[in-house]
Structures are given as C-alpha cells and as structure tokens.
C-alpha cells in the first residue's frame, strides 16, 4: 500500500442525522462500546472474543465481532504486513468500530495490534468509557505450542518476516482495562469478563 490517510477535503462536510447513538442505545437497552482484545498470535484473543460475544448475545446484547483475518479478506485486502500497512489496518478497524458504536452496538475486536500508540489512537476516537482494552497475556512458548496457523514455525524458519513476538516487537499494555491470563481456561476468563462488564452498564448487576 503506497497511500495512507491524508487530511479531509474542505469540500466534505459532516452530516448530522436525526437519529443518534443515544436513541439507538435506548432502543437496545445497553450502552455501546468497543471491547478491544490485544495479544500475541495464538494468545487466545479470537477464541475469547468469540466466546464473549456468544455470552453477550445470549443475554440480549446487540453485538458484532471484528476479526483480523476476516477483515483482510475484504476491507483490508489491499494491505500487506509492513509496519505502515499494519498501522493502516488498525486505523481502518478503529474507524469501523467507531461507526458501529454510533450504531449502538457492543463491538468486539481481536487484533494483535502490537503498537501502543495505535491502540491509544483508537481509544481517542471514542468517548470516555467506550473503549475497553483487554490484554490477553499468554507466554510466547504457549503461543508457539498452540501455533494454530503454523505461523510461528514459518517465522522461526525465516519464511515469514516481521512476525510479532519473533522479529517484530509487541508492546504490551502497561495498564489495560482488563487483564486476562491467556493460559487459563476460557470459561473462567469469560466469567471474569462478564463480571467486570457489569461496571460498564452492559449487563445488570
């Protein structure tokens, strides 16, 4: 990808709609926000995000899950894995998440998103309390042992460059909103997530 986001043309004017997030939240019966899962490849973030979405959906919460691989089949199919492209990938996901929050949804995302600055930019797109950073902290050796896509094996063999955790840095959150031990059973992590999410008004006490 050779071109990234530039400044917005002065000819483009934001159009305010009659219906807004507040009305959609009221109709849905819960606040809208982003639950952003970050962690190494193989950490379990996609599994946890999927399990949490099912748990929320079963409780009547309006949700949508954005998964990294899925978006690279469409919205981000023109991007590679250079540092610039990976940043653009996360920027697009942030903008889509913002739109879905405006639609009144609880948005779950599962992205390595290794850069602290890029994650902070997404937080700043949202209003206070609308971005929940969930760090799925799983030791590298466990992630490699899982290696569901065989990516670590390729990275160790030198067949895959710029792979997070091997030859590219993962900047772990210093103060995530929610910390999860990725080595623990999925069920216990979901229980912890549901308990904490009550504080955000998504679920009743």
Binding residues for ATP: 39-46
| Cα 82 to Cα 188: distance, rounded to the nearest angstrom | 36
Extract the annotated binding site. 39-46
Residue for token pair 């004017």:
13
> How far apart are the C-alpha atoms of 88 and 121, rounded to whole Å?
12
Is the torsion defined by CA of 153, 156, 157, 161 positive or negative? positive
DSSP code of 78? T
DSSP bridge pairs for 180: 136
Catalytic residue, candidates 16, 77, 82, 113 = 113
**Helix, strand, coil content of the chain in percent (nearest 5):** 40, 15, 45
In order, the DSSP letters of 101-156 are HHTT-EEEEE-----HHHHHHHHHHSPTTSEEEEEEE--HHHHHHH-TTSHHHHHH
Is the Cβ–Cβ distance between 138 and 93 less than 8 Å? no
Active-site residue, 113 included: yes
Tokens of 21: 């997030």
Active site residues: 113
């Amino acid at each position: 990808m050779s071109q990234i986001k530039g400044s917005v043309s002065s000819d483009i004017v934001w159009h305010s709609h009659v219906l807004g997030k507040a009305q959609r939240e009221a109709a849905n019966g819960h606040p809208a926000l982003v639950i952003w899962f970050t962690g190494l490849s193989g950490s379990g973030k996609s599994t946890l995000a999927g399990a949490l979405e099912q748990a929320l959906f079963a409780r009547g919460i309006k949700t949508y899950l954005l998964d990294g691989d899925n978006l690279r089949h469409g919205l981000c199919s023109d991007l590679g894995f250079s540092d610039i492209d990976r940043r653009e990938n996360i920027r697009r996901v942030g903008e889509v998440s913002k739109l879905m929050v405006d639609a009144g949804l609880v948005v779950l995302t599962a992205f390595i998103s290794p850069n602290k600055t890029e994650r902070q930019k997404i937080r700043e797109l949202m209003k206070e309390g609308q971005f929940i950073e969930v760090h799925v902290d799983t030791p590298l050796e466990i992630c490699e042992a899982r290696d569901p896509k065989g990516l670590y094996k390729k990275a160790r063999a030198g067949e895959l460059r710029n792979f997070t955790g091997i030859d590219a840095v993962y900047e772990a959150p210093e103060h995530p909103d929610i910390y999860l031990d990725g080595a623990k059973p999925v069920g216990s992590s979901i229980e912890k997530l549901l308990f904490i999410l009550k504080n955000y008004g998504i679920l009743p006490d």
